Structure 1
Amino acid sequence: MRANSLALRLFLSATAWAVVILLITGIILSSLYRQAVERAFDRRLNVYLRTLVAELATPDDPAQAEKFPQSLGEPLFELPLSGWYWQITRLDMGKDAGKDGSKADIRSSRSLWDGGLPHLQDQGVTASASGSREGYVSGPEDQRLRLTERTIDLGEDGQFLVAVAGDAAEISEETRAFDQALAMTFAALAIVLLLTTMFQVRFGLAPLKRISDSLAAIRSGAAERLEGEFPDEIAPLARETNALIDANKEIVERARTHVGNLAHALKTPLSVMVNEATARGSDTLAAKVLEQADIMRDQVARHLERARLAAGLKVIGTVTEVAPVVTALARTMEKIHRDRGIAIDVHADNKIQFRGERPDLEEMIGNLVDNACKWAASQVAIAVEPNQPGADGRKTLRVVVDDDGKGLTPAEREQAAKRGRRLDETKPGSGLGLSIVVELAGLYGGSLTLAAAPIGGLRAELVLPAG
């Protein structure tokens, strides 16, 4: 699951970056292409403008005056409101026309009909190095036009503003066609990139997925080591993981050996002390030695068991089937309490596994069932079921033991799990059962909870890690 999550995050990250890069690239290319189309359009307009300037600068020929201009090579200048226009505006009427500084249109294309073109110089557009001004304006019928104009000074003949405009729809249509082709191309490219990224993520992370699955198998007890061939980039990780598992097992075995040696080393001196004290009969000192020797045996057994369990908990891959353990304990307890007619009802899921060693599970459940049988009137119920995953996401199981005895008050339930605390001296036992369960469950990261049972007595709920 974690490998899949990593693959998904990498795929989504790569996808997001690919989309962002393609989007930015598309915007830049579209902008550059539009600028190129505008430059080409302006060059076309400038050809017409230079033609007009050349004919305007030619001395007047009365025979050709009605045919001005001679030819621009564009029939659209003759078609009314076609979107293609030219206009020549006299800025200075000349010394023969007075000093009022007025403006007058002297020539325009037929396509303008009765309209006129706005002036870019009146809109604050500055001239380029070539002396012309380019920009967008609104023409007749609110047409969007691309216009270029230039101021011409003919000396005594006056100053003129020559303007040529073309329909900007041509620029928009050509740019739109390019954007559509670009979008289709980039969409196909994006699909190819996503498929390529998916392929790379899926197969590039496959070795990590294998390691994740192998570690899960080791944790569940189905395997002991990482097996198989791995790529050169992953092989060191697999080797170090196997080395760590081997070192862990070696440490555990060494710890168990030390525990065994300590047990043997302490058992002989304790036996000698007990034998010597027993031989002295009713001596007060001997009785005190026997009392303290029993306490020492109990403490040694307790701490050795904790050390053994703490070492065993470090073993990776140890799992135990819960249902067989519970069933066997139920049969044993029914035989032990046969004279009281205690019936033990077991409901256990055969698929549930305990992530730990069988002796520890037997000791915990055995103490709970034995305690329930001691207090029950006639019935004990045992249920084993999966539990909700813990805060760290690990699976857990629940072992619920109910009896139909008289139960405990909340205050008594709080005291019951304390070591050596016996609430009823008439019942056999040392008072260590529930405290042992609490200690063992705590070492495994589990817990024991006491509550009221639905059948009338005490409920003991044991939560343990599941395999």
Structure 2
Amino acid sequence: MNSLRARLLAATAVLLLAFIVLTGVALETAVSERADQAEHDRLQGLSYALLGSAEITDDGSFKLAPRVLPESDLTRPESGLYAFVLDEKGSSVWRSPSLLGTVKLDMLPAVGEWLFARVERNDTTLITLAFGFRWVTDDGKDYRYTLVVAEDASTFIKQMQRFRGVLWTLLSASALALLIVELLILRWGLAPLRRLSRNLATLQSHEKRRIEGRYPDEIQPLVSNLNTMLSNDQARLLRYRNALGDLAHSLKTPMAVLRGLAEDDNLDESQRRPLRNQLARMNDILDYQLQKAAAAGKRSLAPSLAIAPIAQKLSRALTKVYAEEQTRFDVRVAAGVKAPIDEGDLTELLGTLMDNAAKYGGGEVVVGARIVDNDLHLWIDDNGDGFGEGSTQRLLERGVRADTSREGQGLGLAVAAEIVRSYTGEIELGRGENGGARVRIVIPAE
């Protein structure tokens, strides 16, 4: 789970679910206990009313006339409200007219104690309250009784079920509403990060080299540091190129003077030849080092550059250069193929390789490129004799040439290899589809 919003939302959902469950259980328990207490108090009040109307004869008989019963439901058979009295042996000595059968209790309370319980009777649940008491007659006889008041729990159970349904429905709806609100809050809170991400993407697709706008205090230092890094990167590259231009300009005059001396007829040929050779070597070394140092290389947040326009522009220029040879250039690059590479580096890379392919090929050069697994795959094919046998990787070294029949210093492939390595890429030499040479390049596109 790499998304910050998904992580925060998942954590919030877990906490909210735990809170909702605990709250629901606590409310349900509290209401159930309160309902039980209310039922206990009601049955207890009814028990006091029954005891207040009761009479005990000298022989221990318990009497309670139906007309003095405190609840009319006690007089209607199987009304759901019952009362009965048990002696100390547990035998029934009186029952209300509403009770037609029997109710069995698991245990009897002691004298002076109340016992609140639920018992099963004929597939129904009864809520019972039993009270143990002693009755002493005027002649001193002592009797031990248990008064039991019972009520059908069906209504109570249905009420609790309705309450649970309403409770969990409301809590679930509240949880869903809170999650939606939390999602909106996260969207609002993470909006600066999304804006920063869009600005970074804009940097990679346009020439703009600065992140614009104000951001929250937690993000602004990061934005400021990124802008500073981008500014320093651009300024450093500009300084390098300006310094290289100054170096090339400053060496131009001394090299011209030495070249003039090398062509001076007053010098013997034995003197001019070594001088020309050394000047040529100096010129080769200077060209190679300038091209190597001028490469921008991989930069932070570099804009993505379309490959096709550069390749097509070079193909048009080289077509004119090799007009006599009637060399054909075929660019097979889709418009959407892009990579974060400096325009100067790409021009130098493609120009060098396409020029080599035209120079040593058989009159046909193919340039192709595509994106595979976020990597730029670029290749240049010709229909010449290829690189020949042996280790082709040596041709990527400075000064090594595969064909010495044509003019050159053996720097083209070496410069191309340096540019590719500066982008942490790979360059391979092999055989193309036409049987000629193929230079294959892989550069990370991200």
Which amino acid counterpart does residue 83 of structure 2 have in structure 1?
W
2:75 is aligned with 1:88: no
Q: Return the letter of the residue paired with 1:431.
A: G
The match for 1:46 among 40, 44, 47 is: 44
Q: Following the alignment from structure 1 to structure 2, what is the Cα–Cα distance between the partners of residues 406 and 112?
A: 114
Residues 386/106 of structure 1: CA separation in 2 closer, same or farther (3 Å cut): same
Deviations 1:60-99 (A, max 9, x none): 389993626931315156322x44333322224xxxxxxx
Query: Which of 321, 332, 342 in structure 1 is aligned with 2:327?
Result: 342
Aligned equivalents of 1:415 and 1:70: distance in 2? 120
8 Å contact 2:393–2:428 — kept in the other structure?
A: no
Give 1:180 shift: 2.4
**TM-score, length-normalised on structure 1?**
0.77
| Secondary structure at 1:158 match in 2 | strand
1:444 equivalent in alignment to 2:423: yes
Deviations 1:190-218 (A, max 9, x none): 34323422332233332322222112212
The partner residue of 2:145 within 139, 160, 183 is 160
Unaligned runs of 5+ in 2: none
User: What is aligned with 1:23?
Assistant: 21
1:116 to 80, 92, 103: 103
- The one-letter code matched in structure 2 to 1:73 is E
Structure 1 pair 361/77, CA: closer, same or farther in 2 (3 Å)?
farther
SS of 1:24's equivalent in the other structure is helix
TM-superposition CA deviations, 1:288-315 (whole Å, max 9, x none): x8767765655555445444435x6437
Residue 454 of structure 1: SS of its match in structure 2?
coil
The yes-or-no answer on 1:145 pairing with 2:150 is no
8 Å CA contact 1:352, 1:466 repeated in 2: no
1:282 counterpart SS class: helix
- AA paired with 1:171? F
Contact 2:128 2:151 in 1 (8 A): yes
Alignment of 1:309 onto 2:295: yes
Given candidates 380, 386, 391, the residue that maps to 2:365 is 380
**What is the CA deviation profile of residues 229-251 of structure 1, one whole-angstrom value per residue up to 9, with x for unaligned ones?**
44566555544443443343334
Aligned residues: 437
Contact 2:56 2:62 in 1 (8 A): no
| C-alpha contact (below 8 Å) 1:402/1:458 kept by paired residues | yes
Q: Is residue 329 from structure 1 mapped to residue 314 from structure 2 by the alignment? A: yes
One-letter amino acid matched to 1:446: G
> How many Å separate the matches in 2 of 1:46 and 1:466?
83
Query: Counterpart of 2:443 in 1: which secondary structure?
Result: strand
Structure 1 residue 371 and structure 2 residue 350: aligned?
no
Query: Would the aligned equivalents of 1:352 and 1:385 in 2 still touch at CA under 8 Å?
Result: yes
**In 1: Cα distance, 2:165 partner to 2:291 partner:** 76
Change (3 A) 1:77 1:305: farther
The 1-side partners of 2:392 and 2:86 are apart by: 106
Distance 1:197 1:344 in 2: 59
Q: Which residue of 2 aligns with 1:209?
A: 194
Q: CA separation in 1, counterparts of 2:292 and 2:318?
A: 25
- Give yes or no for contact 1:91–1:159 (8 Å, CA) kept in 2: yes
Contact 1:223 1:317 in 2 (8 A): no
Q: 1:454 to 1:115 in 2, by over 3 A?
A: farther
Contact 1:151 1:161 in 2 (8 A): yes
- What residue in structure 2 maps to residue 422 of structure 1? 401
Give the Cα separation in 2 of the matches to 1:403 and 1:220: 32
> Under a length normalisation based on structure 2, what TM-score does the superposition of the two structures give?
0.80
Pick closer, same or farther for the CA change 1:346–1:134 going to 2, 3 Å. Answer: same
Cα distance, 1:36 vs structure 2? 1.3
Give the deviation of 1:443 after TM superposition. 1.1
The change in CA–CA distance for 1:408 and 1:55 in structure 2 (over 3 A counts) is: farther
Pairwise CA distance, 1:176? 1.8
Tell me, what secondary structure is at the counterpart of 1:455? coil
Paired letter, 2:114 = S
Per the alignment, residue 433 of structure 1 pairs with 412
The letter for the 2-side match of 1:138 is: E
AA of the residue aligned to 1:35: E
Alignment map for 1:123-272 (pairs within 5 Å): 131-139=113-121, 141-154=122-135, 156-230=141-215, 234-260=219-245
Gaps of 5+ in 1: 93-102, 390-395
Alpha-carbon separation, structure 1, partners of 2:382 and 2:243:
41
- Structure 1 residues 390-432: Cα deviation after superposition (integer angstroms, max 9, x where no partner): xxxxxx4332322233445796444444444433433543333
Is contact 1:387-1:397 (8 Å) kept?
yes
Query: Match for 1:398 among 355, 360, 377?
Result: 377
% identity of equivalent residues:
27
Instruction: Look up the SS of the partner of 1:463 in the other structure.
Output: strand
**1:413-460 deviation per Cα after TM superposition (whole angstroms, max 9, x unaligned):** 444444444334335433333332222112123332444433333333
Q: Which residue of 2 aligns with 1:104?
A: 91
Question: Alpha-carbon deviation of 1:326?
Answer: 0.8
Counterparts of 2:325 and 2:37, CA distance in 1: 106
Name the SS for the 2:70 alignment partner.
coil
What is the aligned partner in structure 1 of residue 33 from structure 2? 35
How far has the Cα of 1:16 moved from its partner?
A: 4.4
**Counterpart position of 2:70:** 72
> Does the 8 Å contact 1:252/1:314 carry over to 2?
no
Structure 2 counterpart of 1:282, one-letter code: S
Aligned counterparts of 1:35 and 1:440: Cα–Cα separation in 2:
80
1:99 corresponding residue in structure 2: none
Separation in 2, partners of 1:146, 1:15: 40
